[in-house]
Chains A and B, each alone.
Chain A
Amino acid sequence: MTGAKWLPTLILLTAFQVLSAGQVVISKDGISKQSAIIFGLYIAIEWIYTIVSSIVRKKASPALEFVAFFLTGIGLVIVASVDEKLLKTQFVAVVIGFLCYVFLLWLISSMDRAMAMRLPMGIAAIGLLIITLALATNRNGAYNWIYIGSFSIQPSELVKVAFIFVGAAALEKLQSTRSLTQYIAFAVVCIILLFLMKDLGTALVFFFTFLILAFMRSGDIRTIILVCVAAAMGAALVVLVKSDYVIRRFSTYRHIWDDMDGSGYQQTRVLIYSVSGGLFGVGIGHGKLKNIFAATEDLVFGVLCEEWGILMGIIVILCFAFIATHSIKCAIGCRYAFYTIAAVAAGGLLLFQASLNIFGVTDFLPMTGITLPFISRGGSSAISCWSLIAFIKAADNRTWLGSRYHTEVVE
C-alpha cells in the first residue's frame, strides 16, 4: 500500500490535534464529553478518508487534504476554546464541507458531466444571490446572511464555488467561444449583486478571482490591465458618490493607533494581543482577544498568535502559501484545461482571501471583514473552502490514476 508512506505525517497530524484539542477538552472542571467525542470523530474522519483514498487512489498524495485538515482542526479548537456551545454547529458544517469536497471531486471527475453542470450552476449562483438580496437582514452593515429557521447561511460563500465552476471550462469550449463576453456578464452580475449587499470584501475576492480566470482563459495580460484600470475608475466613482462610508473605512487604515478605542479598536487589539502571546503563545483558551467581537471570525489570526504563538501564526501563513503553490504545481502539469483553470482560481482565491484577512487585521491592508479560510468560524465558509480544495485536488494527475474516466499515463 503506497499510502503507508503517509502514515508518519498522519500520526504527527493526529498527535497535533490530540494535543491541541486536549487543551480545551480537559479543563479545571474536568473532561468535556461532548468536545471529546467531536474531536474524536474529526480525527476518525481524517483516518478513514486517508486510508480509503490510499486504497482507491493508490498514487494520490494526501498532502493537500492534510493541510486542510490541519487548518480546520485549528479552527475547531479555537471555536471550542472560545465557546464550547458553538463547537457542534461548526463541526457539522465541517463535515458537510468535507462531504461537499468528496461530492464535487466525483462530480468533476467526468469532464462531460462537469461541462453539463456549468449552466445550472451559473443560474443557481445568480438565483441564490438574488434571493439573498431579497431575504437578507442587516448584519454588521452588510446584507449577506439569510436565515432558515435557526440556521443562518452566507450564500456568497457558496457562490464562490459556482463562480469558479462556471469560470473554468474545457479547452474546446474555450476555443469555440473565444470571447469572454458571456463569462464577463456573469461575473459582473455576481459582483454587482455583492455590491448591493454591501459585502465589499467578498466583492473584492470575486473580482480578483475573475481576473485570474480571465487571464487563464485568454492569456492576455493587456486585457487584464484594462479591466483593472476600469475597475479602479469605477471604484473611484463609487467612492466619490457614496464617499463617507468608504472613506470612513479607509481613514483608519495606517492610523489605527490614533483612534485605539474607536475605529482602530479591532486592529489595535489584534496587534497588542498578538505580541502578548510571544513566540509560543499564552496557552490555548487563556487569551484575552477572544472577548472581543468577531474574535473567532475576522480576528481569528490574532487569537491564533495570542494563544498558540506567533510561530503557529507563521506556520499557518506558510500553509496558505503551500496551498497556492500546490495548486500551481498541479496546474502546470495538469492534463485538462478545466482542471488547470479551476485549480489556479481556487488556489488564488484562498490565498487572496487569507492575505486580505491576515494583512487586514494587522493594518497592512485596509480591513475588509473577510474571514480566514478554514480557520475562521462559519459554516458557509467551511463548506466553500473544502469545496475549493476539490478543484485543486482534481488538477493533480495522481488523483485520477486508475479512475474510470481517465487514462493511464503513457510511460
Chain B
Amino acid sequence: MNKISKRSKILYMLVFAFLIGAILLIFTLFKNAETWALKRVNQHIYTNGQLVSAGTIYDRNGVVLAQTVDGKRVFNPDKTIRCSTLHTVGDLSGFIATGAHYAFRSDLTGYSIIDGVYNIERHGEDGKDLHLTIDSKLCAQAYNALGNNKGTIGVLNYKTGEIICMVSAPTFDINNKPKDIDTNDSGRYDGIYLNRFLSGVFTPGSTFKIVTAASAIDNIPDIFSRTFTCTGSYKTSTGTVVCNGVHGTVNFEKALNRSCNSAFAQIAEELGNENLTATAERLGFNKRIQLDGKVNVAKSYFTLNDAVSVDRGWAGIGQYKTLANPLHMATLMGAIASNGNCPMPHILTKKTQFFNLTPSSTLRYMDITTANQLSDMLRSNVKDFYGDSKFPNLEMCGKTGTAEVAGKKPHAWFVGFSRNPNTPLAIVVVLENSGGTGIGTAVPVANKVMQAAVNSSF
C-alpha cells in the first residue's frame, strides 16, 4: 500500500466526530422534544400564540370547561364557572403555569416524539381529553362565597386525594380579558395569573399552631397535663410575644381553642429550634408536592436558622419568616383526619392519569396517635369555642388564623376538615389582606363552601 493512501485514514477522525455529533444531536432532540414542540411559536399547535388544537377539558361531572370547535377554543358558557375555573383550566397563552392548558399541554395536544404533531395536524381536535377532579359548580359557589376578597379556597377529598374545588382571586373572564390587565397598577390585578391555591404562599398565623402542637405532643410527654399562664404577653430574654387577649391559666387544649399566643410561644421556647424545625419539615414544610407529575406546587417555608428566643416564639404562632402554601395546609388537614397520612393530591381523575405517574403515593406526616390527638383538639376548637352552629351537620374540626403581614392588612385563614366519614373533605380558606379575623370572616366563607361541597359529587 502506498504511503499517500495510508494518509486517507485521517478522514476517519472526521467521520467519527460527525457520527458522535449526530448521536448527540438526536439525543438532544429526544430529550427536549416536548419542551420544544410545545413552544408557543409552533404553528402546528398554536395559532397566534394561542393553543387551539387540543382535547376537551371536562370537570368531574363531565361538564365541558374548554374544547376546540371548528379550529377555535371555546370555554364553558357560564361566566361564573369561567372565572372560578380560570386558574385550573388555564389560559391559552400559557400565562397561568399551573393551568391544565399549559401544565398538561403535551397530553392535551397528543404530542409524542414518535408521531410528532401528526395526529393534531391531521385531526384537529383529536388530542387527548382531560378529566379534572374539580366540580365546576362547587367552584362557582366557592367563587361567589369569596366575594370581593382576594384569596383562595380549596377543598380536598382526603380519602382519595382529589382536589374537588380550587378557586383563586383575583381572576378574570377568559372570554373577556380586561384590556388593562398588564398595565393597570392599582393592585387590582396583582398576581392575577397566579393560582393562589397551588402557587401562593402566605404567612400562616395561628393555623401554624397545629404544627407547634404536633411538635409538643411528640416531644413533651406531659403536655396534656401542663398549664400555661397568659398575662396578655410572653416575655423572652430577647423580646416580647404579644397575645390576642389575657387568657389567665389555660391547659394545652384550651390554649389551642383560644389560640393563646403566650402559651404557644412558651411551648415553642421549650421545644427549641431543632424540635420545631424537625416537626415542621416532617409535616411537609420546605418540601415539594407535585400534582400528577406535571404541576409543581409552591413549597411551604419554615426556618429557624439564626433565630433567637423571641423569633422562636413568633415562629411557634405562625409569624416570623414562616410561609404556608394552601394546598399543603389542606393535605396537613387531610393527614390529621385520616391517621396521619394523606393521599397525594391530584387534579386529574383516574381515567386521564395517562402514564399513572402518581400511582398511590401518600404524604406521611405523623403517626396515628398524634393525628388522633390533634384531631380531637381541632374538633374541640369548633365544638367548644367557635360553636358547631357555625358548621351545621358537618362534625367539623379546624383552626382559624389571623396572620399579621408587615405593612398590610392581615390574612384571615381557616383550615379544617369534616370528621364525618361520609364527608371526607378538608378545606382551606385564605382571605388575603382582608382585614378580618379568621373567626369573623374566614369561618362563614368556609361554612358556605363546605355546605355546598357535602352536597356536591365529591
A/B touching: CB–CB < 8 A: yes
Chain A residues in contact with chain B, CB under 8 A?
Answer: 171, 174, 212, 215-216, 219, 260-261, 268-269, 271-283, 286, 288, 305-306, 309-310, 314, 317, 320-321, 324-325, 327-328, 331-334, 337, 340-341, 343-344, 347-348, 351-352, 354-355, 358-359, 362, 364
* Among B8, B34, B42, contact of A332 (Cβ-Cβ < 8 Å): B8
Chain A CB within 8 A of B14 CB: yes
Shortest distance between the CB of B172 and any CB in chain A (Å): 27
B9 near A332 with CB under 8 A, answer yes
* Among A171, A317, A348, contact of B4 (Cβ-Cβ < 8 Å): A171
Bound-complex Cα distance A171 to B3 (A): 11
A321 near B18 with CB under 8 A, answer yes
Chain A residues within an 8 Å CB radius of B32: 271, 275
Shortest distance between the CB of B94 and any CB in chain A (Å): 14
Chain A residues within an 8 Å CB radius of B121: 282-283, 286
Shortest distance between the CB of B344 and any CB in chain A (Å): 30
Chain A CB within 8 A of B2 CB: yes
A340 near B4 with CB under 8 A, answer yes
Chain A residues within an 8 Å CB radius of B15: 321, 324-325, 328, 351
* Among A278, A288, A340, A355, contact of B21 (Cβ-Cβ < 8 Å): A355
Interface residues as binary, B4-20 with A (CB distance below 8 Å gives 1, 0 otherwise): 11111111101101110
Closest to B42 in A: A272
Shortest distance between the CB of A224 and any CB in chain B (Å): 9
A272 near B36 with CB under 8 A, answer yes
Bound-complex Cα distance A261 to B33 (A): 19
* Among A260, A271, A340, A354, contact of B5 (Cβ-Cβ < 8 Å): A340
Chain B CB count within 10 A is highest, among A215, A271, A348, for A271
Chain A residues within an 8 Å CB radius of B45: 276
Shortest distance between the CB of B119 and any CB in chain A (Å): 10
A328 near B12 with CB under 8 A, answer yes
Chain A CB within 8 A of B406 CB: no
A348 near B5 with CB under 8 A, answer no
Chain A residues within an 8 Å CB radius of B43: 288
* Among A269, A276, A321, contact of B19 (Cβ-Cβ < 8 Å): A321
Chain A CB within 8 A of B439 CB: no
Chain A CB within 8 A of B112 CB: yes
Chain A residues within an 8 Å CB radius of B33: 275
Bound-complex Cα distance A341 to B3 (A): 12
A268 near B3 with CB under 8 A, answer no
Bound-complex Cα distance A348 to B115 (A): 34
A215 near B7 with CB under 8 A, answer yes
Count the A-B residue pairs with Cβ separation under 8 angstroms: how many? 152
Chain B residues within an 8 Å CB radius of A276: 37, 42, 44-45, 111, 116-117
Chain A CB within 8 A of B113 CB: yes
B8 near A275 with CB under 8 A, answer no
Report the 8 A-B pairs with minimum CB-CB distance, sorted nearest first: A278-B116, A331-B8, A275-B33, A344-B8, A277-B116, A288-B43, A275-B37, A317-B22
Bound-complex Cα distance A280 to B18 (A): 23
B7 near A358 with CB under 8 A, answer no
B25 near A344 with CB under 8 A, answer no
Closest to A363 in B: B28
Q: Can you pick out 29 interface pairs between chain A and chain B where the beta carbons lie within 8 Å of each other?
A: A174-B4, A216-B4, A260-B41, A269-B41, A272-B37, A272-B39, A273-B44, A274-B36, A275-B33, A276-B42, A276-B116, A279-B114, A280-B114, A280-B115, A280-B116, A283-B121, A306-B116, A310-B26, A321-B19, A324-B15, A331-B5, A332-B1, A332-B5, A333-B1, A340-B5, A340-B8, A348-B14, A355-B14, A358-B22
Bound-complex Cα distance A335 to B365 (A): 79
Closest to B12 in A: A328
Chain A CB within 8 A of B224 CB: no
Chain A CB within 8 A of B118 CB: yes
Q: A272-B39, A280-B114, A280-B116 are in contact. Are A219 and B3 (CB under 8 A)?
A: yes
B8 near A216 with CB under 8 A, answer yes
Q: A219-B3, A279-B116, A332-B6 are in contact. Are A351 and B18 (CB under 8 A)?
A: yes
Extra A-B contacts (6), CB below 8 Å, given A309-B116, A320-B18: A276-B116, A314-B22, A332-B5, A347-B11, A358-B22, A362-B28
The interface on chain B, measured as residues whose beta carbon lies within 8 A of the other chain's beta carbons, has a size of 44
Chain A residues within an 8 Å CB radius of B44: 273, 276, 282, 288
A279 near B113 with CB under 8 A, answer yes
Chain A residues within an 8 Å CB radius of B36: 271-272, 274-275
Interface residues as binary, B90-128 with A (CB distance below 8 Å gives 1, 0 otherwise): 000000000000000000000111111110010000000
Bound-complex Cα distance A358 to B17 (A): 13
Chain A residues within an 8 Å CB radius of B8: 216, 327-328, 331-332, 340, 343-344
* Among A269, A348, A362, contact of B11 (Cβ-Cβ < 8 Å): A348
Chain A CB within 8 A of B24 CB: yes
B29 near A274 with CB under 8 A, answer yes
Shortest distance between the CB of A234 and any CB in chain B (Å): 22
Chain A residues within an 8 Å CB radius of B4: 171, 174, 216, 219, 337, 340-341
Shortest distance between the CB of A267 and any CB in chain B (Å): 11
Bound-complex Cα distance A305 to B118 (A): 13
Chain B residues within an 8 Å CB radius of A215: 7, 10
B2 near A340 with CB under 8 A, answer yes
Chain A residues within an 8 Å CB radius of B34: 275
Chain B residues within an 8 Å CB radius of A274: 29, 36
B114 near A344 with CB under 8 A, answer no
Q: A272-B36, A340-B2 are in contact. Are A283 and B118 (CB under 8 A)?
A: yes
Shortest distance between the CB of A123 and any CB in chain B (Å): 26
Closest to B10 in A: A215
Bound-complex Cα distance A320 to B14 (A): 11
Chain A residues within an 8 Å CB radius of B18: 317, 320-321, 324, 351, 354-355
Bound-complex Cα distance A240 to B113 (A): 43
Bound-complex Cα distance A247 to B394 (A): 69
Chain B residues within an 8 Å CB radius of A348: 11, 14
* Among A282, A341, A347, contact of B118 (Cβ-Cβ < 8 Å): A282
Chain B residues within an 8 Å CB radius of A358: 22, 25
Shortest distance between the CB of A58 and any CB in chain B (Å): 24
In chain B, positions 17-68 with a C-beta closer than 8 Å to chain A are 17-19, 21-22, 24-26, 28-29, 32-34, 36-37, 39, 41-45
A282 near B5 with CB under 8 A, answer no
A216 near B116 with CB under 8 A, answer no
A275 near B25 with CB under 8 A, answer no
Chain B residues within an 8 Å CB radius of A331: 5, 8, 11
Bound-complex Cα distance A277 to B4 (A): 45
Bound-complex Cα distance A273 to B38 (A): 10
Chain A residues within an 8 Å CB radius of B9: 328, 332
Bound-complex Cα distance A274 to B3 (A): 44
Chain B residues within an 8 Å CB radius of A269: 41
Chain B residues within an 8 Å CB radius of A283: 118, 121
Bound-complex Cα distance A118 to B3 (A): 23
Shortest distance between the CB of B253 and any CB in chain A (Å): 57
Chain B residues within an 8 Å CB radius of A343: 8
Bound-complex Cα distance A348 to B4 (A): 16
